[in-house]
Structure formats: C-alpha cells, structure tokens
Amino acid sequence: MIKAGIIGATGYAGAELVRLLLGHREVEIKWYGSRSYIDEKYASVYGNMFQLVEDTCLDDNIEELSRQVDVIFTATPQGFLAGVLNETILENARVVDLSADYRLKDVNVYEQWYKIKHRSPQFLEEAVYGLCEVNREKIRRARLVANPGCYTTCSILTAYPLVKEGLVAPNTLIVDAKSGTSGAGRGAKLPNLFCEVNENMKAYGVASHRHTPEIEEQLGYAAGEEIIISFTPHLAPMNRGILATEYASLKKIEQRDGTYAYPSYEQVKAVYDKYYQKEYFVRVLEQGGYPQTKWVEGSNFADIGFQIDERAGRIVMMGAIDNLVKGAAGQAVQNMNLMFGFEETEGLKMTPIFP
C-alpha cells in the first residue's frame, strides 16, 4: 500500500479524488491539503464524507508533505505547483498535477494563454502528458505527470485515431464542446449562479479558451505537424459532463481497386478499433450510436461515436466524458496506477450512474 497526499482536497476535483481513493485497495490518503479550510474537519466541508473521513484539513506545504507520502496530487489553480516545485519534492514523491502548469512544452505558449509567468520551466521537458491511452509507457516511468484538462481529454480522444492515421485534414478540425458547471470549480462566481445557469446555454472563451493550445499540441504530435483548430466551449445547465462534437474534412484514401474515395463507415470504425478496442475506458459505440453525458456520469469512461457526412466530405465525431472523473480525478488515479504498477483499472471500475 502506498500513501497519497492531496493538495486542493476541498475543490471539486480534489473531492472526487478523495471519493475514488477511498475505494482504492492500494492507497491510503495521508494528507488532505486545503488552504481555505486549515484545521477544519474534512467531513464538515463535504458532508458525504461523514464517518468516512475523520481527518482535518492541513495546509499546502508540499515539501513537508512530500516527506510523508509516495504520491502527491495537486488539484490547484494554475501557477501553484510551478511556483513551489523543486528537485527535493520530486526526489521524495511522485507528482500528478491536475493544473495546466506542465501540460504545454513551450513556456511562451503557457504564459501567453494563462497570463502568468511560469516559475519552474526547468521541469517542462521532464513532465509527461498524462493521457493514458496515448502515453502509457512514458507515464509508467514518470516522476511528474501533467494530468490533461477535461475539454482536452474528450476532444483529443475523440479525434486522435483519425488524425494519427491521416483520415482527416487536421487543420480543418472544429471542436464544439459543452461542459457542466462543475468544470469551473467550487469558487463563487457570478456566471455560475443558479439563476445564471439554469435553463440557459452559452458560449464562452470563444477563440480564446486556454485548452485550445493543449488540444493543438497533442493532436499536432499525432499528425506529425503543427495544427490550428477552432475550439468553442459552452456552459450547459448540468453538474457534470463534457460533450464534444467535432467536425473535420475527410481525406480520400486508396481503395482496393486503386481508386480514391472517402473512407467508409467500416474503414473509420476499423481505425478506432485499432486504437481503442483494448482500452477498457474508451467505448466506441455501435453504428448510429451517439454519446450522451448521462451514460458516462460518475465513471471513468469516454464514449465515442461518429457519423460520416458523405455529401459534405466531412466526418462528425462525438465524445462524452464525466469532466470530474475521466476529465480530472479519475484520469489522475489512472495515471497513478500506471506509475506504481497497479492494475490500471483499480479503483475506477465504477458503473456510470443513472438517473
């Protein structure tokens, strides 16, 4: 059994980490870090943990924490980990960071999109992007894992096989995504008040959302070239979930008779199966099946479907995840399982909840 510490344990992603790790057979939570609730009982912050967690919240002294645990999860705002991480911490414990501090390899891109100075760029090269289905072997060896964002996890997994295999023109990719309100965190914000969100749908971060360069960078690796996408997120009146609908122009491929034509359903499905058939957490739906957030809620699954638009020469790709599980805490636990040699699905085989 290993010991884990969570900094930012009282945010939504941190609380989801607590929920998942309490059901993990190989992990003991040693430290519940929360700058906002120091010395308060964790169960007084989250009543669902009554008689399940007796600990009090501690501060966010990560160097002190690193001496007591094997792995640290940082479910913190951008800039926190980059401001405190040092070699001593990484020698003491492995780190899974749920912020964006180490997702982007180019420090200039990070500072441009996040509007803050990166205070430890020396660790960017070492950090492994924690999308398990793509970087599994690198994650196993990593000391520092950059847990992907929720929009990016859904967007990348949905398009990755077709970009990697050259079935679509990556620079034509348009991502239209919807998120539940928990993606904005637990802090009080006017746009997230009930009266603002209920019975409403709105776009935000249009042509400027901070997950854009992350999607571009990772799909660019798949394409073997730099790409530019159009990404528009929307806020949906629900607690959890991401639904990404993605559009791209298909490329004509050589057929058995030597002619070139757009790929058929069977050819596209074969590409998805090549990458995901053995992936427990990625479910490629049957023909005519389109993902819905309610069928992944509370789980670590990513559901993917697609429809070829032959008339337009395009494909519509759709993906759905729970933004707090596969889009945050569940993926972080999946990364930890790989890093410590546990069964990758340990603590994560939850059936989606419904209704």
Q: Would you please indicate which residues are annotated as catalytic (active-site) residues?
A: 150
- Establish how many alpha carbons lie within 13 A of residue 278's alpha carbon, considering only the half-sphere containing its beta carbon: 6
Tokens for 187, please give them: 């802090």
End-to-end distance of the chain based on CA atoms, in angstroms?
A: 34
DSSP 8-class letter at 241: -
Rg (CA), the chain: 20
Chain position carrying tokens 């990755």: 160
Chain position carrying tokens 């629900």: 238
Q: Please give the Cα distance from 56 to 205 (Å, whole number).
A: 37
Tokens for 247, please give them: 């559009």
Residue 2, beta-bridge partner list: 27
Q: Indicate the pairing of strand 302-309 with strand 282-284.
A: parallel
